[in-house]
Structure 1
């Protein structure tokens, strides 16, 4: 953690001020990321906020929400798989990962960089008198709300991945000796801090911004993340209420007349009413490594658009879709012309067109087209990466209402908005029990949100609901194990609801015990 804090401090200087540091022998010295006597204007507060947002990308390419976070959320479950070129991804996909996995280490570092930036930014903003420097206290509270939203988002990911994590809510200038090696804090305590942050953000953030500021946090984003947290906790009424508070606030689904779901992910779609919070990527040439993401290059294979193809999708997932479903027909590679003049088709037994060689090659996988790769050799992903969108709000409320009262007309109506947008007939209320409607909801979520980082948590929540909390891994085992190359890599002795703590942190943080990963790895 000491190393992470130092790295984060250096990163902050891009938006704040110049950092100087030095090493004397083996002793590390960390210096302040800003000079409080000089950074006293509201514009410096805004710069601090921008620096916090930049941590979502962690320098672009594969950093945090630009790529690696989704490796942890998607690879270990049942939609996305790997080829042998995926390296560290193969360990995640086949459940053979351990504390030395570089992606686990990278995501931990990225998350705590952002937490550190948010803490430093909050301290800076609190020390600026906006009202006497030509601005307003309303803007000051908004800026604080933005960084507290981002801190809550970072802790949401941290607790989703590791459960108990260090809780750091102050700037490095207030650190004690104990803070240099922070202890693990119970997940419930961290969640309580997140709720406090999100309630503050919801009360102080605006409902909207100009279109060119689509990636800034709104009150709807704060309430939406609260809904997601309450869903994870199984607090259904709070989740339903939080989701409802986002509805009728200017958000809507991108309609079929507007091009449907596939057009929402188009590179040119920079702002949309379905976006609630996104990682905004640049559409300027040369943006890779700064303001881009790695989804496009990894989502498409070489023979389609010269991509790496590191996110192949099981044919079994393709087979789940109705043949009239627009999501299957526009967002998955069921059939395409290869660079070599052949046609790549999904086999008939998986719902595809099939065909015979030499003109047709039968696909071993399909690939997702939510993140179009634009065939540029700097491999930049230019489209916005959705972190929270309105369709998820509707589905969360539908699920929460079903868990509270069983099948009901509102849940059916909310689900049908999603289905009908994708050219599917609506569900009818008759014939459903709480269990069968729950299953239908998770089936719909799987088809709607694939490769958006939701599936791992959905499977865990589904298992909790189906067993009244007794077996969170029920659906994980049911869906994931049959797709493993060797079913024996799954171990009943491992708690797959959490990942192992990274080796780098174990080695540098003396508060971590030697057996901290007991039950997290084989």
Structure 2
């Protein structure tokens, strides 16, 4: 697979046409040439095209680097340190405009993912394999790329609203100046892709070890449930999520919360879909897409490598965990009402004992190494990220390459979304209580005896998602879909040291259409209101 991937990353967006001399018996067509008409006629080539679609998850704007900055900063789970400048600084204080490089990269990479998945779907339709095994694999690859296309459009419609809807490769080639489609049509296409993928019998429930990282049927169902939840289709969301709690699915909460964010987290039974650093390195996906989008320091073909180093308090320390995120871990005890500090604090950040954060690092370093106390005497009282870090194993990283896989969807997330689907339908009884308490029990947090009425149950659910999924790029999306993002962000920023502002404006409910798109597509440009969206 490795020897093909670099050429494939070029041909995924390339159509080669040939013209030349008079036809004769000497005119031969090289069937192995990287040409649109002749190359994608065997299962190996279509597998390569499928893998090239996964590769876009590691492109600029996505999980190579910017994705975690965008949503941790804008969800106010991270805040900038003095080292953080440029596009990322703008995200944290909501001063970004239509030329923000990170948001532009996100838009571009999502459409690149769509372009590549459309190519696979187009070429698969043109090839009619005779071997039963080839047909089965082809159907599997189609389900995988429909999952990826749905993932891309899910982000586009959630963040930008009405967006161009490219679903046909030939149309894209002939007319890549499509106007924006209504958000309702985009949601409908997402549901169609995921429903068809789920119905594909050839899409595995589990993969052999060498193929870990590919989208499973469980990943498809989880994303479909999430799509229903975001559209407030509570009953459909419930039905989807409930499937994952029963056979043939064997997902379980990892007994160790810390293990979910460790260097061996590819083996946790909680995984539903991950950004597979180690596995995708073996696929050779990562090499051209180092975190800065260039060819620097590609030793080991790093993939999702930047977060640990950039968030690392003993390394680049570009961000802190926000004060609001730290304070959220202290709340009234569910049983007594007294002040209570959630034990997940110790797994999420380094800080003082009083805050609940971990006060020591390098506790599992090489023999002879000592434990190091974390210095929480920062004059601003700022604490540092521990989740997705591995300072328990090393004193410093020294290089921006982390083997820790990024969690996209995991079981605890699904369990809390299922609990929310119950609560939103007026069920605040045993079913959602058991799900919330199961997630809390894993970390030895005090359990709830009951959830109270629907309003109180939603408050509990919202806090559970904030604490359990802190630093996993979920909170921004949650606040947005709950309709409370403006008041929440402004209230938190108003009391945040060094901020004291209320930066979230009504226009921020949607991302701005990037200049790169506005300047390229006149049909999109003429539909933009107030120069924003």
Q: How far 1:405 moved relative to its partner?
A: 1.3
Match of 1:190 among 183, 186, 189: 186
Match of 2:530 among 515, 518, 522: 518
Would you say the 8 A contact 1:83–1:90 is kept in 2? no
Map of 2:123 onto structure 1? 124
Match of 1:318 among 321, 326, 331: 326
For residues 118-517 of structure 1, what are the structure 2 equivalents within 5 Å?
118-130=117-129, 132-133=130-131, 135-171=133-169, 173-175=170-172, 177=174, 179-204=175-200, 205-248=203-246, 249-255=249-255, 260-282=256-278, 286=298, 290-301=302-313, 304=314, 306=315, 308-322=316-330, 325-334=342-351, 335-336=359-360, 343-346=373-376, 364-372=381-389, 375-429=396-450, 432-463=452-483, 473-483=486-496, 485-486=498-499, 488=501, 490=503, 492=505, 494-513=506-525, 516-517=528-529
Q: How far 1:455 moved relative to its partner?
A: 0.4
- 1:386-436 per-residue CA deviation (whole Å, 9 max, x = no partner) reads 110000110001011011014211101100011111111211116x11111
Would you say the 8 A contact 2:94–2:504 is kept in 1? no
Report the CA distance shift for 1:17/1:108 in structure 2 as closer, same or farther (over 3 A): closer
Would you say the 8 A contact 2:380–2:497 is kept in 1? no
Report the CA distance shift for 1:175/1:501 in structure 2 as closer, same or farther (over 3 A): closer
CA distance in 1, matches of 2:528, 2:132: 51
Report the CA distance shift for 1:21/1:94 in structure 2 as closer, same or farther (over 3 A): farther
Map of 1:34 onto structure 2? 35
CA distance in 1, matches of 2:264, 2:176: 45
Matched residue SS, 2:384? coil
Report the CA distance shift for 1:12/1:230 in structure 2 as closer, same or farther (over 3 A): farther
CA distance in 2, matches of 1:361, 1:18: 49
Q: How far 1:512 moved relative to its partner?
A: 2.4
Query: What count of residue pairs does the alignment treat as equivalent?
Result: 467
Q: How far 1:382 moved relative to its partner?
A: 1.4
Q: How far 1:169 moved relative to its partner?
A: 0.6
Would you say the 8 A contact 2:197–2:220 is kept in 1? yes
Map of 1:355 onto structure 2? none
- 1:152-173 per-residue CA deviation (whole Å, 9 max, x = no partner) reads 00111111221111110111x4
Matched residue SS, 1:39? coil
Matched residue SS, 2:76? coil
Would you say the 8 A contact 2:519–2:525 is kept in 1? no
Report the CA distance shift for 1:12/1:115 in structure 2 as closer, same or farther (over 3 A): farther
Would you say the 8 A contact 1:41–1:129 is kept in 2? no
CA distance in 1, matches of 2:61, 2:252: 30
TM-score, normalised by the number of residues in structure 1 = 0.82
CA distance in 2, matches of 1:462, 1:63: 25
Q: How far 1:246 moved relative to its partner?
A: 1.5
TM-score, normalised by the number of residues in structure 2 = 0.80
Report the CA distance shift for 1:101/1:16 in structure 2 as closer, same or farther (over 3 A): closer
Map of 1:82 onto structure 2? 80
CA distance in 2, matches of 1:12, 1:144: 21
Report the CA distance shift for 1:20/1:233 in structure 2 as closer, same or farther (over 3 A): closer
Matched residue SS, 2:90? helix
Report the CA distance shift for 1:17/1:446 in structure 2 as closer, same or farther (over 3 A): closer
Q: How far 1:320 moved relative to its partner?
A: 2.4
Report the CA distance shift for 1:75/1:18 in structure 2 as closer, same or farther (over 3 A): closer
Q: How far 1:495 moved relative to its partner?
A: 2.6
CA distance in 1, matches of 2:243, 2:187: 20
Map of 1:43 onto structure 2? 44
Q: How far 1:450 moved relative to its partner?
A: 1.1
**What runs of 5+ residues in structure 2 fail to find an aligned partner?**
18-32, 282-296, 331-339, 352-358, 363-368
Report the CA distance shift for 1:102/1:289 in structure 2 as closer, same or farther (over 3 A): farther
- 1:343-366 per-residue CA deviation (whole Å, 9 max, x = no partner) reads 5455xxxxxxxxxxxxx5566322
CA distance in 2, matches of 1:112, 1:292: 20
Deviates more, 1:315-324 or 1:435-444: 315-324
Alignment of 1:96 onto 2:113? no
Would you say the 8 A contact 2:486–2:504 is kept in 1? no
CA distance in 2, matches of 1:313, 1:210: 37
CA distance in 2, matches of 1:174, 1:383: 39
Report the CA distance shift for 1:387/1:15 in structure 2 as closer, same or farther (over 3 A): farther
Matched residue SS, 1:500? coil
Map of 1:106 onto structure 2? 105
Report the CA distance shift for 1:12/1:182 in structure 2 as closer, same or farther (over 3 A): farther
Matched residue SS, 2:63? helix
CA distance in 1, matches of 2:491, 2:502: 14
Matched residue SS, 2:278? coil
Matched residue SS, 1:508? coil
Report the CA distance shift for 1:447/1:411 in structure 2 as closer, same or farther (over 3 A): same
Would you say the 8 A contact 1:13–1:19 is kept in 2? no
**What runs of 5+ residues in structure 1 fail to find an aligned partner?**
1-9, 23-31, 347-359, 465-471
CA RMSD across the alignment: 3.0
